[in-house]
Structures are given as C-alpha cells and as structure tokens.
Structure 1
Amino acid sequence: MTGPSPYSFRRATPNDLPMIRRWLYLPEVIRWWGDPVEQIELITEDVELAEMATLIVSYRNRPFAFAQHYDAHQWPQAHFDPLPEQTRCLDAFIGVPGMMGCGHGQMFLKSLTTALFERGAPMIGIDPDPENERAIRCYEAIGFVAGREYETAKGPCLLMTLSAPSCLKAP
C-alpha cells in the first residue's frame, strides 16, 4: 500500500524567480540549459503566460526543481511538428545539487507525465541534448522512446516521446 506522493507541483509565480535564478546558475544546469541570464528572461515571460505551465516541484514540501509543459504546436519548433495534436512537451531541471543523480527526476517526471495523460494528452515529448546521458537514461527509465536527432537553432536535440497508456487513450 502506498501513501500520497512526496512530490508536489504548483504553478510558479514571479516570487519564485529569485530561486529559479539561483538554480539556473548551477554548473550542471548551465551545462544543459545555457546562459542563465537568457533563461531567466524566458522563464520570467513564461510565468505570466497561460499557455505555458511553469511549475515548481517540491519533495516533501521542499522546492527542488523546475518544470514546464506546453502544447507541442503552440511554439513552432520543427522537431515537434510530427507529434499528434494535444501532445504536451516538457522541459525540466533539478536545482538542488544534493538531489541530482539519486532518482528524484525520474520520480517527479513519472508523476507529472501520469497527470498529463490523465488530463488527456495523447503523447509527451521531450528534447534533451544528445550528450545529456543522465537525462536520457532518466527519460528512458520512465518509458520515453528515443527518436531521431535534430539540429535546432539552440543546437542538437534528441526527440524522445512517451505515449499515453492504452487505458487512458480516448476511444
């Protein structure tokens, strides 16, 4: 028997931006997300958009990660074009060094993807850097399947997809 999940999600607000900014300056986050100044500007804009779900992820009520999800076709990115309508795309990172590399990413992403499928998403896409082996292993562990690599304006990415379980697919 399992109890309630120790992971929780809430909408990020402008008050969270200083914490997110600190997280973006971690070397492991910079390595995969790039320039923290540019990223905080984008996230600052996204926090106000209804179309972009920007989330603070907590473990036992302690914020430790950032995630966002959005409609694959809302922002034109050629590598998302083949994905079915209503597919959600994800971006995420862990912002607390002591919580990296010990399964938290896998656990919170499994919880988040389940919630997105329950809300009707037929598929979820994620596009890590092909060299980000830790992230790719995490995504594969929860069922994402690697597709092809694409060259984007921000560099190479590996399109990975996770399909809704058959019990949650629309008839």
Structure 2
Amino acid sequence: MHVQLLPFDGDRHWSLINKWIEAPHVARWWGDPGEILLELQQHDPNHQAMITAAGQPVGFLCWQTPSQEELQAAGLADLPKDLIDVDIMLGEAEALGKGIAPQALQCLFEQLKNQGVTLVGLAGAIANGRAMKAYQKAGLMPFRDFFENGEWYRYFTISLL
C-alpha cells in the first residue's frame, strides 16, 4: 500500500483529527479528546502531517523538540537536547495492522534527516502491542521504559546519521 505524508491543512484536517481522537482505538492511548485537541492545535503546523494510504487520509503525525521539563518528568533527561520527539496516530481503524505506521514513520525520518535532524524518539504505551511492533519495524530501538499517568511506556529512538 502506498503511504505518503501530506502537509497539514487545518481548514481541511481538524475535523478529521477531532473525529479520530474520539475513536475508542485512539482515545485509549491518547487520553482525553478535549485536552489532546487543544495540545495539537498549539503545535507548529509546519511540524504536522497527514498520513495517507492509497490516497486516503488515515492518520496524523506531529513532531517537536521536547522541553527539558517534559523529559525530566518521564525520566528521560539524559536524552540529547536536539532530539525530535514524534507522535503518531492512525485514526482510521481499518488502517491498523497493515504496515502503514512504520511506512509513515520512515517517510518522516527521511524528511527530518534531510533537514539535518540526527536523533528522533517516540513513546508508546507498552500495553499497546501493535504500536510496539510498528515502532520496531520502523527501525526504532527501545531506549528506556518509564511510568507516567498510571501506565508503563517505552521510549524508542533512532539515529538518522
């Protein structure tokens, strides 16, 4: 299946994001839809992308440099300050389990590498076995497990050098 990242267009895409964050398979891992929507709306639109598969929007990616406070809270303060942290969501349930997330992450890694980024990371709930497999399939390596908000997470990294 052909996977692409398209520039995020708030006028066209916020309604889809809003629908997806309320879907049970997303809300379980992302948390309160109202809080998540507010957080996502504060992201730089240039650091957001829509994931398409076979030309249809199926998911969302965003990336940022995490603050030292965020890293400290997760026990990850030893990560480099130039790390780019990624969040990924497959909003369409029928897109799950088809290898779309690893392909989308690889597309993003290539884009970030071309911009001079050397280290990328992302966290996922350990209980989300499908995500754990997808991250490793994308080439990410486990860095450290941490406990936050009543859940165990695994932080993954990949060197783009």
| TM-score for the superposition, normalised by structure 1 | 0.82
Letter in 2 for 1:122: T
Aligned to 1:63: 57
Aligned length: 158
Whether 1:17 and 2:11 are equivalent positions in the alignment is: no
Q: 2:4 aligns with which of 7, 29, 38?
A: 7
Structure 1 vs Structure 2 CA RMSD: 2.1
SS at match of 1:127: strand
Structural mapping, 1:128-167, within 5 Å: 128-153=124-149, 155-164=151-160
Q: How far off its partner does 1:85 sit?
A: 3.2
Aligned to 2:97: 101
Structural mapping, 1:64-83, within 5 Å: 64-73=58-67, 76-78=70-72, 79=74, 80-83=76-79
* Equivalent residues of 2:68, 2:77 under 8 A apart: no
Distance 1:12 1:157 in 2: 30
Aligned to 1:44: 41
Mean alpha-carbon deviation: is it higher for 52-61 or for 142-151?
52-61
Distance 2:92 2:25 in 1: 10
- Superposition misfits of 4+ residues, deviation over 4 angstroms: none
Unpaired segments of 5 or more residues in structure 2? none
Mean alpha-carbon deviation: is it higher for 99-108 or for 55-64?
55-64
Distance 2:107 2:69 in 1: 24
Letter in 2 for 1:36: P
| TM-score for the superposition, normalised by structure 2 | 0.86
SS at match of 2:42: helix
Mean alpha-carbon deviation: is it higher for 152-161 or for 120-129?
152-161
Distance 1:154 1:55, change over 3 A: farther
Structural mapping, 1:110-121, within 5 Å: 110-121=106-117
Higher RCO (Cα < 8 Å, 6 or more apart): 2
* 1:25-75: CA deviation from partner (whole Å, max 9, x where unpaired): 1111011111112211211222xx36x712222224321101100113476
Distance 1:131 1:37 in 2: 23
Unpaired segments of 5 or more residues in structure 1? none
* 1:6-32: CA deviation from partner (whole Å, max 9, x where unpaired): 413212425421110101111110111
Distance 1:92 1:12, change over 3 A: farther
